[in-house]
Structure 1
């Protein structure tokens, strides 16, 4: 989402408004405090590029879709889990980026809590514990934390004029039907598309790919010539982003300006979308879980740390997001 936001804000550069615009949007963003109050000795060393841990939740939605406390403005202990977990790494020169989804049911060690699904870390200890869990798992240092609300995803999709996706399998989520084939989706239908999993053969794996496909389409739409040529539309999109995205309290307005400027040449075609390698699924007690493939995953995390994801993808072409996921 920050890749998308950078493209939107850059559309306003023609008016020379980078400072004012980023300051305004930074001031409006919700701040999560104390995310990085973590013992430095437990954290990985700094790798190449800049890495964000992006989480998707319903915690700021007006509709309580992930529990009775989902309308809270911030994390509520024990009441919320992160339905989307993505590591986003941007190269130092801003020429390419990688987005790696970690399935929410991945069975992993959570510091101080033992083995559990990775999304339980957010429920147990909020953003800070999730950062610690992801860093311990991947040995990739997280520079910043961001949360995107699902309701905001729908609004941003509408603000961008919709997204174009090729739907691999027709689905119907909560009464909203999405036909198979090439589709232009508005916010409501895009939200249905990214939230469905029960009717898909790959379950949550397919849903992860749909989430990535929607982000790829949204980034493509946001950075299209039509959007960039319209400061009014670009401003509206960036304004929506600032309303529905929360960031850690160390991400300042000057950080946002530097980040945005560094992405001025990034295009959607230079973003790799991947999923953490897994060996399959199984049961841990009554819970259905995903078992990650430690060897293959470690190769990917090393590539992310060394600015070598494009090379890794070239050697593992089947790992890349397909053009038409289910």
Structure 2
């Protein structure tokens, strides 16, 4: 056959015909190329999000400090026998806001809030414990509740509260008041319900909803001398603020905003100390499980007291309502806080 003879399928076809034929002859290549493009389009955002989450994990892990904040044993009765806890009773967190360096005995704890997260992760209850409650402190006799922290740091405070309630506290988190201020600013401020009007440090707090930045919120939760019930009223202010901050931090405007989320997590964990068993993974899982929490799902109560009095040394104290405290402890221990009435 001569060199000029037509020897393949392209003979007599125009260039356009040749390209069309080649395209028709290679559908697998085209499909493969399409899958590659689709895969890249999916992987790029996934890797970007995954990388950002990894970055946040590293940030939080680097900030959070761990320490021995829990006692070696659970709650005991008057005879010293440990009180048995149900297998499924939710999770109890003790939040401590202190006025000194984290974890240092000799300082006083100004905020003591027990957060009960039920097994089904709905209707979270925050119980405020007034710092002047007059209670038995293991090995120290009777004294104000916040003296337990001064005598023996977080472990002694936890033991005191566990015995008072008959409830095991699973985890402890401690931070200074400045941490609350930074968290508030990181989310762009919070809307707090003001129950009682006052004027503190040049700031006028009027009844109703008030938007507060970090500095204003700090002034709000510290005030007690102008309030009708002193430390009790301040406790209610702290509850209102914590609720506002909690709700703002769980909104899409915070969680879905990379800049705001990073700022909040950094502020929340910079001076945060937690017990050795509370890993960053556990904190992340708990936060994810509670992402749908709304205002109506959060309930605040104050630990029951029957009135005011004076200690043998003449200090102003709040007297524990023993009967109601037992009811509160039972409701927490059996995960039935919905039935508890103040």
TM-score scaled to structure 2, two decimals? 0.77
Comparing 239-248 with 217-226, greater Cα deviation is found at: 217-226
User: Which of 92, 96, 106 is matched with 1:51 structurally?
Assistant: 92
Which structure 2 residues correspond to residues 149-160 of structure 1 after superposition, within 5 A? 149-160=176-187
Contact persistence 2:112–2:131 (CA under 8 A): yes
Structure 1 residue 31 displacement after superposition: 1.9
Q: Does 1:231 align with 2:258?
A: yes
User: Which of 148, 155, 160 is matched with 1:128 structurally?
Assistant: 155
Which structure 2 residues correspond to residues 246-285 of structure 1 after superposition, within 5 A? 246-284=273-311, 285=313
Which structure 2 residues correspond to residues 91-102 of structure 1 after superposition, within 5 A? 91-102=118-129
What's the counterpart of residue 325 of structure 2? Answer: 297
User: Which of 286, 289, 292 is matched with 2:314 structurally?
Assistant: 286
Contact persistence 2:63–2:271 (CA under 8 A): no
Contact persistence 1:45–1:141 (CA under 8 A): no
| Residue aligned with 1:104, SS | coil
Contact persistence 1:44–1:135 (CA under 8 A): no
Contact persistence 2:69–2:274 (CA under 8 A): no
- Which structure has the higher relative contact order (CA within 8 Å, separation 6+)? 1
Structure 1 residue 137 displacement after superposition: 0.5
Q: Does 1:141 align with 2:180?
A: no
Query: For 2:145 and 2:134, how far apart are their aligned partners in 1?
Result: 6
User: Which of 114, 120, 137 is matched with 1:87 structurally?
Assistant: 114
* Structural RMSD (CA): 2.2
Query: For 1:131 and 1:239, how far apart are their aligned partners in 2?
Result: 27
Query: For 1:219 and 1:95, how far apart are their aligned partners in 2?
Result: 14
What's the counterpart of residue 70 of structure 2? Answer: 36
* Higher-Rg member (1/2): 2
Comparing 282-291 with 16-25, greater Cα deviation is found at: 16-25
What's the counterpart of residue 3 of structure 1? Answer: none
What's the counterpart of residue 49 of structure 2? Answer: 15
Comparing 134-143 with 303-312, greater Cα deviation is found at: 303-312
Kindly tell me: are residues 44 and 144 of structure 1, through their superposed partners in 2, closer, same or farther at Cα, counting changes over 3 Å? Answer: farther
Kindly tell me: are residues 19 and 292 of structure 1, through their superposed partners in 2, closer, same or farther at Cα, counting changes over 3 Å? Answer: farther
Q: Does 1:212 align with 2:253?
A: no
Query: For 1:87 and 1:136, how far apart are their aligned partners in 2?
Result: 14
| Residue aligned with 2:270, SS | helix
Kindly tell me: are residues 96 and 40 of structure 1, through their superposed partners in 2, closer, same or farther at Cα, counting changes over 3 Å? Answer: closer
What's the counterpart of residue 131 of structure 2? Answer: 104
Structure 1 residue 110 displacement after superposition: 0.1
| Residue aligned with 1:213, SS | helix
Contact persistence 2:59–2:266 (CA under 8 A): no
Unmatched 5+ stretches in structure 1: 1-13, 60-71, 320-326
TM-score scaled to structure 1, two decimals? 0.81
Q: Does 1:181 align with 2:208?
A: yes
Kindly tell me: are residues 41 and 180 of structure 1, through their superposed partners in 2, closer, same or farther at Cα, counting changes over 3 Å? Answer: closer
State the Cα deviation string for residues 78-118 of structure 1 (Å, max 9, x = none): 2x111111111111232231110111000000000000001
